[in-house]
Structure 1
Amino acid sequence: MNDVLEHYDQATDAALERLFQLLQIESISTDPEYKGECYKAAGLVASELTGLGFETEIVDTDGNPMLLAKYRTSQSSTPHALFYGHYDVQPADPLELWTSQPFSPVIKERADGSKFIQARGASDDKGQLRTFVEACRAWKEVTGDIPCDLTILLEGEEEMGSPSMVPFLQKYKKELKADFVLACDTSMWNAETPAITIGLRGLAEGDVCIKAADRDLHSGIYGSAARNPITVLTQILGRLHDENGRILLDGFYDNIQMPSVEVLEQWKQLGFDGDGFLNEVGLSVPAGEAEFTILEQIWSRPTAEINGIIGGYTGEGFKTVIPSTASAKISFRLIAGQDHKKVWKSFEDFVRERLPKDCTVEFIDRGGDGAVALSSTDSIVKLCAEELSNEWGEDSIMMGSGGSIPIVGDFKRELGLEAILVGFALENDQIHSPNEKYELKSFMKGGRSWIRILGRLGNLK
């Protein structure tokens, strides 16, 4: 392994040149005008992997292509890992806010000597996926082999919700057979501390619309006598939480799974500044469940949020009207053990039970996904954590995440595989924003981290 790490360090310029070639491709998935660029990006990586001994295939979908590559090691009885990443990127707009051209990658240096790569996709996810490919290259060039069996799956629609992914997983289930998934599309705890994300919140979302009178009414003639659906809607939604932030839907907390005592204790030692977290956005008082810390609230607790309310006259000036309808967009972030269908059904029951006689209600269930929870004691998780610690010189953090990554749930449902989320992005990488960047240190030590992990996997039998 030391020889491989030394070789990798000496090949920095070539590795950056390959990354820059990929970053120069405008593989914007959401705009059909760039479909050719998406094929170009997939083809570039496919050609490279073929040169490293992978059997590669560009698979057409109804949208952008998938890249599927397989490698079989000469060693016997090693684990088989499925690596996932995505080559597509978000649009670069607004262009005028970039300090360099978004698809002309540059390395910039700060006053303290630290350097970063600036380009669209540098962090999300081209720089990240290249750390894994470069680790494979280093092993191959030094030893003539890669330590374990690998399947690499790179998609081109992650930034638009991965609409082709589930049909692809279903069709290529046999080709994607593996022992676990390795994914590099997440972040570290901070610039010095590596992390594995072991929890992702699920999601249930939809619309609720309450109707009262058969038309909008004059508030002077009908005021007080006629039911106002905005009032009804806001009164009902205002009862979703109690005074301590607990969500009051029936069965909402049934079967929920919390992180282990060890993980919760680790979180306490992180020194997370909850007050500072809120102060950054002009707030000071936590609104979640009072018995939990702010970090626990955002990483490991479910939510009920009103994302928008529509009703009545909202234009310029004023109109004295009692509207006939009022609607709201509602989302629930879920934790392991919660079923998004049951949660939405409970919400519908909650509204109907509190609906006045003169009103009717309609719902639009926009679907959702279950939460993901990975055991911190899983053998592969522990192996990855140990090698991350060896590389970075800091104990790896088992992080939660307030967000959702639907593909992780797809791997579990369609392939029966757990995804181990190892990433080297930072919170300030400005992904999806102008001047996206990826720390040069993240790129270099990310590749070294994967070299270590692949080496350890090759020693498992």
Structure 2
Amino acid sequence: MIIEEIYQSYLNFLKEFTAFKSISTDPAFATDIANTARWLQDQLAANGFKTEFITGYDNPLVVGSYIVDPKLKTILIYGHYDVQPPYAKASEGQARMIEEDLWKAEGWENDPFVLTEKNGRLVARGAVDNKGQIALHLTTVFELIKQKKLNYNIKFLIEGNEETGSPNLRHFIEDHADLLSCDSVLISDGEIASGHPVIEVGFRGVINTAITLTTSDRDLHSGLYGGSVPNAARELMKLIEKLYQGTTTIAIDDFYDDVIAPTKEELKNHASFPFSIEHHHRVTGTKKLFSENSLDFYTQTGLRPSIEITGFESGYNGVGFKNAVPHTASAKLNIRIVPNQDPKKTVKQFEAFVKNNTPSYATVTLQLGQGCKPIRINPKSELATKAAKLLTQEFNKKVLYKYCAATIPIVIDFKEILGVSQVLLPFGNEDCNMHGANENFEIDLIKKDIGVAWGLLS
């Protein structure tokens, strides 16, 4: 009965939460970002938390603290309120499109900022990443407080820059280590696997980069000059293609020098994970699974590096046609690195590759993100052991200890600055379509997750 009561509170909370357009990747939404943070502060304060609204580290951070008994252990629960944009910005040819046309063109069936229930799922931008998961902890803790069953002191740290790499969050933690002091950190920001509950034991690091290649100071008539002058789009495609050897191997010199080969234990662990190629195709919408030397999916994505093209722009993409050879082209790349690789060294390797492979008749500029280190996590802490038992009871399935292919920048900062154990407890469904259209959270799974959170903190 208590699960249903918390779910109703959760549903009402999430409807308000997802209505905020807290898009951190676009400065145009700065007011929405600030309003979201203030709303969260109000929710915490209304439930007895001592709160702080902290600025000066990019978007506002919200910190809440509830002390049950100073003698009890303290858990710091981290989450983020910022979200990915639900659609790309309007291009020149789309300038007259209204917002509804834009999200429909991206594939959304309903307004991404109106929480909708469909086919047993809650659908909205942020439904899983990360509003839906941090809301689950918030509403569960609020109910535990009301019933006087909270068995830990609780602190919440909820930030607004996770989707931009949390560039200044480390400085905040360094400056406010006393405010965040705790015995354990709890984070829910990911997905279960093949219906099995998951405790994450590591994350890949990440580097984002943008490349702009220029061949002239102007576009040129494709009839008068086509076939006789360099085409920026083609030259950039040729440069990017040289990054790869085959489908998955990176061709940058010395790129794999520091990559540790998967151990027999890791390969055995991943081989025990239930995996269906048909399920993978259904979840991803793809028709092919790539891997190095027939590695399994979880080893390939969790313990091997990758470089993905995440955006490409060149020439005219508006209504009709413009018959011109583009003089500039740009691409965005996402580099994922694995434990033992260093972001700074990887950046130098990437810069050298671009320099050595750019033709003499073109110029290239690089915009490089700060980068985030990869990390391994001890899954045998006291809180993690308790979580594993609860997951087994609630799901009646084996708990999978998984290396996550994604990145949560703050995990490395917590490890290096606070020096406490961390439990990475993802709650989302595998087909949630995080960062994509119709992002969703399964209702039945939410109720199981509430049961786990209740047992963990009571």
TM over 0.5: yes
Map 1:80-99 onto structure 2 (within 5 A): 80-87=74-81, 94=100
Q: Could you say if the C-alpha distance between residues 183 and 82 of structure 1 is closer, same or farther in structure 2, counting changes exceeding 3 Å? A: same
The whole-number CA distance in structure 2 between the counterparts of 1:217 and 1:435 is 41
Q: Is the 8 A contact 2:61 2:158 kept in 1?
A: yes
Deviation at 1:172, TM superposition (A): 1.7
CA offset digits 1:407-435 (Å, max 9, x no partner): 33443455445542212211334555666
Question: What's 2:38 paired with?
Answer: 39
The whole-number CA distance in structure 2 between the counterparts of 1:294 and 1:433 is 21
What letter corresponds to residue 63 of structure 2 in structure 1? L
Deviation at 1:195, TM superposition (A): 0.9
Q: Is the 8 A contact 2:219 2:324 kept in 1?
A: no
Question: What's 1:6 paired with?
Answer: none
TM-score by length of 1: 0.76
The whole-number CA distance in structure 2 between the counterparts of 1:221 and 1:119 is 49
Q: Could you say if the C-alpha distance between residues 387 and 313 of structure 1 is closer, same or farther in structure 2, counting changes exceeding 3 Å? A: closer
Deviation at 1:356, TM superposition (A): 4.7
CA offset digits 1:121-142 (Å, max 9, x no partner): 5434444234334544565555
The whole-number CA distance in structure 2 between the counterparts of 1:417 and 1:317 is 58
Map 1:297-446 onto structure 2 (within 5 A): 297-310=300-313, 317=321, 319=323, 321=325, 327-378=330-381, 380-417=383-420, 419-431=422-434, 436-446=439-449
CA offset digits 1:212-270 (Å, max 9, x no partner): 56776788998888666666544443332324742222231233246654443232223
The whole-number CA distance in structure 2 between the counterparts of 1:137 and 1:279 is 37
2:65 is the alignment partner of 1:70: yes
2:134 is the alignment partner of 1:129: yes
What letter corresponds to residue 368 of structure 2 in structure 1? D
Q: 2:175 aligns with which of 144, 155, 171?
A: 171
Deviation at 1:68, TM superposition (A): 1.9
Q: Which has the larger radius of gyration?
A: 1
Deviation at 1:446, TM superposition (A): 1.6
Deviation at 1:151, TM superposition (A): 1.9
Deviation at 1:183, TM superposition (A): 0.8
The whole-number CA distance in structure 2 between the counterparts of 1:392 and 1:287 is 30
| SS, match of residue 367 in structure 1 | coil
Map 1:244-259 onto structure 2 (within 5 A): 245-257=248-260
Q: Is the 8 A contact 2:204 2:339 kept in 1?
A: yes
| SS, match of residue 369 in structure 2 | strand
Q: Could you say if the C-alpha distance between residues 163 and 225 of structure 1 is closer, same or farther in structure 2, counting changes exceeding 3 Å? A: closer
Q: Is the 8 A contact 1:27 1:88 kept in 2?
A: no
Q: Could you say if the C-alpha distance between residues 166 and 392 of structure 1 is closer, same or farther in structure 2, counting changes exceeding 3 Å? A: same
The whole-number CA distance in structure 1 between the counterparts of 2:41 and 2:53 is 7
The whole-number CA distance in structure 2 between the counterparts of 1:414 and 1:320 is 54
Question: What's 2:21 paired with?
Answer: 28
Q: Could you say if the C-alpha distance between residues 224 and 447 of structure 1 is closer, same or farther in structure 2, counting changes exceeding 3 Å? A: closer
Deviation at 1:326, TM superposition (A): 5.0
Q: 2:271 aligns with which of 268, 276, 280?
A: 268
Q: Is the 8 A contact 2:372 2:409 kept in 1?
A: yes
CA offset digits 1:351-373 (Å, max 9, x no partner): 33344555554333233222232
Q: Could you say if the C-alpha distance between residues 265 and 32 of structure 1 is closer, same or farther in structure 2, counting changes exceeding 3 Å? A: same
Q: Could you say if the C-alpha distance between residues 274 and 168 of structure 1 is closer, same or farther in structure 2, counting changes exceeding 3 Å? A: same
Q: Could you say if the C-alpha distance between residues 396 and 219 of structure 1 is closer, same or farther in structure 2, counting changes exceeding 3 Å? A: same
Q: Is the 8 A contact 1:42 1:66 kept in 2?
A: no
The whole-number CA distance in structure 2 between the counterparts of 1:246 and 1:184 is 31
TM-score by length of 2: 0.77
2:152 is the alignment partner of 1:148: yes
Q: Is the 8 A contact 1:201 1:370 kept in 2?
A: yes
What letter corresponds to residue 66 of structure 1 in structure 2? L
Identical aligned residues as a percent:
28
The whole-number CA distance in structure 2 between the counterparts of 1:385 and 1:136 is 19
Question: What's 2:94 paired with?
Answer: none
Q: Could you say if the C-alpha distance between residues 434 and 333 of structure 1 is closer, same or farther in structure 2, counting changes exceeding 3 Å? A: closer
The whole-number CA distance in structure 2 between the counterparts of 1:353 and 1:422 is 43
The whole-number CA distance in structure 2 between the counterparts of 1:214 and 1:127 is 47
Q: Could you say if the C-alpha distance between residues 72 and 344 of structure 1 is closer, same or farther in structure 2, counting changes exceeding 3 Å? A: same
The CA RMSD measured in Å over matched residues stands at: 4.0
